[in-house]
């Protein structure tokens, strides 16, 4: 996806008071929350779906 200029680096999370250092987000590459709970990643994926970039991906079996 980086080759198609679709990938945009995520914004760093600035609110350290709510960060949980025992959880790690692979999208942000920092502690604070789990990747599966990342709202910014979810929004990014939803945008790609709406724009038709992920139309050939089979999401069956992926849980919410």
**8 found inside a domain:** no
Number of domains, the chain = 1
Could you tell me the two tokens for 12? Answer: 């760093």
**12 found inside a domain:** no
What's the pLDDT at 42? 92
The Cα–Cα gap between 43 and 38 comes to 9
What's the pLDDT at 43? 92
Residue-range definition of the domain harbouring residue 30: 17-54
**2 found inside a domain:** no
**23 found inside a domain:** yes
Could you tell me the two tokens for 24? Answer: 């790690």
> Which of 12, 16, 14, 8 is closest to 43 using CA atoms?
8
What's the pLDDT at 6? 74
Distances from the Cα of 22 to the Cα of 10, 37, 45, 64, angstroms: 20, 14, 25, 22
**39 found inside a domain:** yes
- What digits encode the pLDDT tens for the residues 33-50? 999 999 999 999 999 989
**3 found inside a domain:** no
Residue located via tokens 């680096």: 9
Residues of the chain with pLDDT under 70: 1-4, 13-18, 62-64
> Model pTM?
0.68
């Amino acid at each position: 996806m980086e080759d198609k200029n679709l990938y945009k680096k995520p914004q760093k999370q600035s609110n350290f008071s709510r960060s949980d250092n025992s959880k790690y987000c692979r999208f942000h590459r920092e502690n604070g929350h789990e990747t599966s709970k990342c709202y910014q990643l979810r929004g990014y994926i939803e945008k790609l779906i709406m724009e038709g970039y992920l139309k050939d991906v089979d999401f069956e079996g992926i849980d919410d």
